[in-house]
Structure formats: structure tokens, C-alpha cells
Structure 1
Amino acid sequence: MAEEYKGRVIVFSITGCSHCKSAKSLLTERNIPFVDVNLDTFPNLREEVKRRTNRSTVPQVFFNNIHVGGNEELQNLMKNEDKWQALIQEIKENEPPEDAPTPPAEDAFVDSDSKDDSGPILKCEEDEFYSLAKEIKDSGVLKDHRQGLFHVVRRSITSEELVSWMKETKNMDQENAIETGKQLVERHFLVPLRKGTTFKDDSNALYRMIDYQWENALNAIPISECKARQAFEVAEEMRKLILKLYSEYLSSDGKKVDYRGLGASESFKEYKKLSTELQRVNLKGLSREETLAFFINIYNALVVHATVSRGPPTNLWQRWKFFNSVSYIIGGHPYSLQDIENGVLRGNKRGIGMFFCPFGKADPRLQFIMKEVDPRIHFALVCGAKSCPPIKTYSPQNINKELQLATEAFLESEDGVKVIDDQSQVLLSSIFKWYKCDFGSSEEELLRWLYQQMNDGEKKKLLGGVIQNPKRKVSYIQYNWGLNSA
């Protein structure tokens, strides 16, 4: 028979948070009933939680009005029998006082669940040129073309050959055949192999189907049948589904993800199909906020997709290959993880181990890069390693607030910043070494940037003292590349 409790335990959490899942699992094991308040569902409560705890991390656990802290504090508390029993007595004997946090009304939870916000709302409307593109692939008209003495372009077609085929098989006149070819290129069914090519009846202009041209991209097959949609709309559906999957296959202790089980699920098949819509999304006209949210969410989803499909990188060479070769086709062009992070989000800067910038002077992807680098992106991008910031998703409407929350949360962690006051020493994540130019032109500018971004509290106070010490020492924490896989 379950024990009766007058009081209440509240866990403030977010979806896909490993530490949140671990804390809730611990309470369940101890038969402690609790109310799970998901801050993704109730974002209006974020500021209240931060005000009560002076923290941006989750979970945050309350026994009545007593703030226990996060997952680590909860685990340590359970090891101290006297303190643990005192908390149990508190919720057994006392109703929540007026100053205790209050969960949302029960009907708010019901309404939230009924919306089923965890999965995509598929809105695919078939593109009117999809059937023609598929017929071109299946008709046998694609063939090998030699370019120069040694290079052969397989499964390709010249515009002259395509115009001739459409005139013969579709009864089009010359003008309609050329216009149809232009539409196939503009809608990213066909890819010109010569930059700046305008489709016309030309025996030298060579084209390939988009899935053949970048067949190693994780979303290359099949060619998307859907009409092009706005980029952030597709990304929103993708982020909901991949986060739902991540949460479902996260172990009960929150330490590992069952990537094998995730990859075999029907939902992952649905996700892969949804990812093909990126092939022809419209990136033009995105605002700064939409660009940030779109590419951060796509980067994080691509990491999970690649880990499921290809397995995790286990050494330096595999990590280099992972970040440089794993890619999605987005708006008719391939984007690797390096392209997204260093090309788009960092304004086309060289990344770790790169001799050149991701995009050359004539690269069409240059039109989508960020004009100014927001260094807070480094705490939003998830690389799949244990030292990375926890997985989160971002929205164009709230991107600045969400990036600030991610930054504050990372700086609160010992993996982000650790201050040793008696030695006047600061230990920083290697992220600050690799991307130092994003945070300032000197060590002092970096430390002052960290100070400005931190929540008020003991760590910030200690850092302020260290900054004033001319003999301070700054060191970097060795990065943990271990994957959280089962």
C-alpha cells in the first residue's frame, strides 16, 4: 500500500534531458510520488524556476518549498540517510506552504498531452514535377558521360539529351521542354555540374539527379516527392520527432541512448522520410533568428541520425571523417556538420584542423551564412559526446532567450567552467580554446565574456576575483569524446 504524503515533490525538467530522467528514476525507485513539470510544455515557468534556484540547468527538484537542487545533489542527498529522512518527514507531515512552487493546473497537463506535440505534423503535398523526375530516373535516359580523358560522370544527362527526350516522349515543343528543364533544376530535382548554368538546349551542359550527385548524404534517398516548404517549418517537425525518439530510447538512469533500438523503430523510418524534405526546402529570406534556429536544430538532428545510421566515431580519424563527411542535402546543396557549424553559424570561419574556410568565394551557400557570430551557438550544438551541452531544441521566436539559457546552463557545470579560488585558477572547457576568437581577442576578454554571461552566484563571484588577479592561470579541461550509447 502506497504511503500517504501531505506534501508535494516537483521536478522541473525538459524533454530529452538525461539528468532529468535519472532524477525521476531515482524518485520512482524510492516510491516517492512527484509532479513532473516539463518546461518545454510550460516555458512561462522558466523564469520562475530560475528566480527560485538561481540556475538555468534542469532538473530542479523541490520537496515542498525546499530546493534540493539538480540530479547530482539529489543523488548525494539520498546517500545521507539523516538528511533524506528529514525530507521524507517534511512531505509526509506538512502540506506545501504558500511559498512552495505550484504546478500548473491538472487540465493544463491534459491539454498539453492532447496536443501530442512530440511528433511531426506531416503536410507533404506532392510536387507537380516529381512524377516526371521519377520517370527520368527510371526511363534509362541517364547514362555515363566522359569529361576529359579520365573522368566519367555516371548516370548523368546533357540538357540537349533531356530536351530531346521530353519532346519525343512527352510531345513537348522546344520552348516547353526547356522551361520544364528549368523547373526541374529550380526545384532541385536536377543538379547542374557547372556552376551558374542556365538550362538550355546544350550538348555540353551536364546534369545529374540530386540523389545521384550527393548519394552519400543521409537524406539523399529517396528523392523527396513533396513540394518545397519553408525551412524552419520542416526543421520544426524534424526536431520534434528526433527529440521524441531520443527521449524514448534514453535509459532509465539517463546515462545511455539505445541507438540500435532507435534505428530499428518505425518512428526512425518516419524521421528518415521526413529528412528528405530538406532536399528542396526554401532557405531564401530567412531572418537571423530563423537561420540560427534552423541550422542548430538540423545540426543536432544530423548528429543523432549519423550515429544511428553509421555508428559513433571512436578515434581521431573517425571523428574528423564524421564531422566532414556526414551530411544532409539542404535546399539543393550538401551541408556537412563542419559546413553547418563553421560555414553557416560561424560566418565561414576555419574550424579545428581546417586549412581553409568551408565555402569558397563562388559557393552558393555563402548567401546563407551568419553575418555576425553569436558565440552562444557553441553551447547549443550537440556533438554526441558526454562533455557536450545537453540536447535542446530551438525556436525562431525565442532563439535569443534559449541560447542564453543554454549558455548559462553550460557555464554552471563543472565541465564548462571551474574556478579554483585559492590557486587563482580557472579551468575551462576545450571549446573555449578551439574557438577562442569567437569570445574575444585576448584571454582577459574571454574571461570577462564568461563573467557577463554567468548567473549571479558563488562561481561568478569567484571568477570576478580571479579576473582581477594579474597572476591568474587559465587551463583547459581535456575533452571527453565518449559517446552516451548503450
Structure 2
Amino acid sequence: MAASESRIAGRVIVYSMPGCPHCLQAKSTLGSLGLPVWDINVAHDAALRARLKELTGSSTVPHIFFNNVYVGRNEHLQNLSPEALERLVHMVREEPVPSNPYPLPAGTSPETEERDGGAFEVSEALRNLILKLYSHHLSTDGKSVDYRAMSKSPWLERYCEWTLQLQQAKLLSLSREEKLAFFINVYNALVIHGNLRLSFPKTMWQRYRFFNYVSYLIGGEVFTLQDIENGVLRGNRKGVTQLLKPFSNNDPRLQVALPEVEPLIHFALNHGVKGCPPIKVYSPQDIKGQLHSAAEAFLESSEGCVVDYVKREVKLSQIFKWYKVDFGGADEKLLNWVVDHMGESEKKSRLKILLSAGNVKVSYLLYDWSTNSTD
């Protein structure tokens, strides 16, 4: 049984970076020992990284200290003998932290660094693994997946192992930008994971079951694909075929939902079929710009928008029909949203001319429900 942190005299300090699987594994191991871990993110502190390299001879994170004893990196921690580990644990429990035993960035405190061990770090670790998978098994245009090869990939096995870390993610610590990137990436990966494990849904009923039952345990709560898309990213709005909102007023997951819908998510989420926007991996930094770029690319494609200048008709993806309320509701508001989010192009110029003249017909393109598998 772990000793109470209030009775522990010393401290373990870990210098880490978000998205580093070795850092996350080290902190998980230390946490299981019942030790207080002071996690310091060195990602944006070049001076601190240089000082650590000078002290340890290595620029690779994590760097792990038990009080003032440098243990090394994650592999060194994992390879400690039981006797050596017990001596270090006993030292931290019984001996107070020496004064200034290790370098600290200005303004560092346990409170300011605590969030780096939460959902953001888990999402970054998963994002890096997703990038590995996609780089080997996703087509260059992001439209198709080699599921057969991916199912045999060692990166998939590692990804599946790391999805277990989602159970401990502290979702309430995420900023809006981190939440967008986290749930978009998790959603797209979960669709692929579900297709690999359960096969591809082909009928309307199979698709309904797939998106309402395929799920991850995140932060102690079950999140299905429907929950992520309509509950979290759409600000708890009813989805297609749904009679009720995903989260009731007393559902703890409601605290995670965005306060209002973000329409741009519709150009980032991929349902595993050819009619969807391409799969990409998103980061919290400049997430708004990344989503705008995804929207521009989709609207420029013939799957997203077709402008028939002669017939004064705009043909849009079914996505705009299903989620019309997210884009303003009425046809006029929908078309204004579309033109505002197009990149500069001949298509945009023609659409602006049509809108200025008025009386534009809106129709919707056939949606390609065939799987995005390369097989």
C-alpha cells in the first residue's frame, strides 16, 4: 500500500515534454509507487534543457531525480533492481528535499506543472503514434487507409496500449484548443480502430450501431463516436437520427462539451467512408487555422461544393444538409458561411456573383458511403 503523500518528506522530479511516451510511462510507474511527482515541462525552455544536458550529459527526456539523486531516463527507471528502487523510495519517504537540488525554470511550482501529466500529454502521445500509423498506411491525399497492412503494424499495437491511458485523462484541464485537437484526433483514430476490430458498417442500421456503440473510456467516462461528435464538439446538439441531446443536464460528460458548436469540425472528422473530408492529425497550436485550411480544401473539392453558374445552383456535400443548423440554418446563411470560408478561387468568385444577384438554388450532392479502405 502506498504511503500517504502528506507523510512523505522528499520528492521525485521528472523533466518531461508533452507527447513523449517514455515520459508518460515513467510518470505512470512513479505514480504507482505512491510518490509525489513534480512534473516539469521543458518543451519551451531552451535554457533549462541546456542546463539539464550539462548536468546529465543527455538531451533526451525524461530526466528523473529522487531528491537529489539522478536516476536517469525512463529505461534506467524501468531497469532498476527491486532493491535499488526500494532504497530510493525509502529515501524519498524519509529524507527531506535538499535545498536547490536541481535546476528549475522561473516561476515553476507543482500547481503550474501538474496539468502536463493529464489529458493534453496523453493526447500528444497518441497523436505521435497516430502520425506513425498514418505515415505508413494512409494515402498521401488522406482519403484512403490500408487497413489490412495497418492491422499488422507494431505501431497499432503500441497505439492500443496507449489508449488505456485515456482512462486517467483529466479532461477538465484542457483548454478549448487542446480539447478540439484531442477529440478530433481521438475520433478519427477510434473510427479506424473500430473498423479494424469490428469490420466496416455497410447498412444504415450497422452505421447507427457503430457510431452509437464504438467507444473509448476517457477520463473515467464512456465516450462513443456519437458522444464525441455531437456531445463534445457540437456543444451537445442532437445528431442525425437522434431524438435527444447526447448528454442530459446531470451527465458528468456535459462539463467536457464545448460551450457552443464549432462548425469547422465537420471538415476534420472522418467517418471511414469516401464522402468524408480527408484524415489529418491536428495540434492545439493554431487549431483554428488548421480547421480553416481543412474547410477551404473541402469546399474547393468537387465532393464539397459545385457551383453551376448557368443554372444558378450550388451543390453542396450532404454534410451541410445534415448539420445545416451549425451553419446558420437558412439557405442564405448557409451560402454566406460557405463563401466566407472558401479560399480565393474562380469557384468563390462565381459564387459571390451569384449571391449578389440573389435567387440561388441550393441542392445536395450524392454522398459516397463506400469504405475508404484501399482493399
Does TM-score exceed 0.5, indicating one fold? Answer: yes
Q: Mapping of 1:370-389 within 5 angstroms?
A: 370-389=258-277
Matched with 2:28 is 126
Matched with 1:326 is 214
Q: Give the Å deviation of 1:304.
A: 1.3
Q: Please say if 1:405 is aligned against 2:293.
A: yes
Question: If you compute each CA radius of gyration, which structure gives the higher value, 1 or 2?
Answer: 1
Matched with 2:244 is 356
Give the TM-score normalised by structure 2.
0.69
Matched with 2:304 is 416
Q: Give the Å deviation of 1:308.
A: 1.3
- SS of structure 2 residue aligned to 1:334: strand
Q: Give the Å deviation of 1:240.
A: 2.0
Distance in 2 (alpha carbons) for counterparts of 1:316 and 1:254? 24
The runs of 4+ residues in structure 1 deviating greater than 4 Å are 117-122, 127-132, 251-256
Q: Give the Å deviation of 1:126.
A: 3.1
Q: Give the Å deviation of 1:122.
A: 5.5
Distance in 2 (alpha carbons) for counterparts of 1:291 and 1:253? 25
* Change in CA separation of 1:248 and 1:415 when aligned onto 2, cut-off 3 Å: same
Distance in 2 (alpha carbons) for counterparts of 1:381 and 1:476? 19
Matched with 2:45 is none
Matched with 2:332 is 444
Distance in 2 (alpha carbons) for counterparts of 1:308 and 1:448? 39
Matched with 1:6 is none
Deviations 1:116-172 (A, max 9, x none): x9995552133678599xxxxxxxxxxxxxxxxxxxxxxxxxxxxxxxxxxxxxxxx
Q: Please say if 1:435 is aligned against 2:334.
A: no
Distance in 1 (alpha carbons) for counterparts of 2:277 and 2:211? 17
Kindly, what percent of the aligned residue pairs are identical?
50
Give the TM-score normalised by structure 1.
0.54
Q: Give the Å deviation of 1:411.
A: 0.8
Q: Contact 1:119–1:244 at 8 Å: present in 2 too?
A: no
Q: Contact 1:239–1:301 at 8 Å: present in 2 too?
A: no
Q: Contact 1:121–1:237 at 8 Å: present in 2 too?
A: no
CA RMSD in angstroms, aligned pairs only: 2.5
- SS of structure 1 residue aligned to 2:172: coil
Q: Please say if 1:239 is aligned against 2:127.
A: yes
* Change in CA separation of 1:423 and 1:323 when aligned onto 2, cut-off 3 Å: same
Q: Give the Å deviation of 1:256.
A: 4.5
Q: Give the Å deviation of 1:471.
A: 3.1
Distance in 2 (alpha carbons) for counterparts of 1:290 and 1:238? 13
* Change in CA separation of 1:324 and 1:474 when aligned onto 2, cut-off 3 Å: same
* Change in CA separation of 1:299 and 1:255 when aligned onto 2, cut-off 3 Å: closer
Distance in 2 (alpha carbons) for counterparts of 1:342 and 1:251? 28
Distance in 1 (alpha carbons) for counterparts of 2:116 and 2:202? 37
Q: Contact 1:279–1:331 at 8 Å: present in 2 too?
A: yes
Distance in 1 (alpha carbons) for counterparts of 2:201 and 2:264? 25
Q: Mapping of 1:129-168 within 5 angstroms?
A: none
Distance in 1 (alpha carbons) for counterparts of 2:199 and 2:164? 20
Q: Give the Å deviation of 1:252.
A: 8.6
Distance in 2 (alpha carbons) for counterparts of 1:253 and 1:413? 12
Distance in 1 (alpha carbons) for counterparts of 2:365 and 2:203? 19
Q: Please say if 1:266 is aligned against 2:154.
A: yes
Distance in 2 (alpha carbons) for counterparts of 1:355 and 1:131? 47
Letter in 1 for 2:28: E
Q: Give the Å deviation of 1:254.
A: 7.7
Q: Mapping of 1:447-458 within 5 angstroms?
A: 447-458=335-346
Deviations 1:51-90 (A, max 9, x none): xxxxxxxxxxxxxxxxxxxxxxxxxxxxxxxxxxxxxxxx
Matched with 1:459 is 347
Q: Please say if 1:393 is aligned against 2:281.
A: yes
Letter in 2 for 1:293: A
Where do 5+ consecutive residues of structure 2 fail to align? Answer: 1-17, 35-114
* Change in CA separation of 1:228 and 1:280 when aligned onto 2, cut-off 3 Å: farther
Q: Contact 2:307–2:347 at 8 Å: present in 1 too?
A: yes
Distance in 2 (alpha carbons) for counterparts of 1:118 and 1:230? 11
- SS of structure 2 residue aligned to 1:426: strand
Aligned residues: 276
Q: Contact 2:315–2:364 at 8 Å: present in 1 too?
A: yes
Q: Mapping of 1:282-361 within 5 angstroms?
A: 282-361=170-249
Q: Mapping of 1:175-186 within 5 angstroms?
A: none
Q: Give the Å deviation of 1:258.
A: 2.5
Q: Give the Å deviation of 1:333.
A: 0.2
Q: Contact 2:132–2:155 at 8 Å: present in 1 too?
A: no
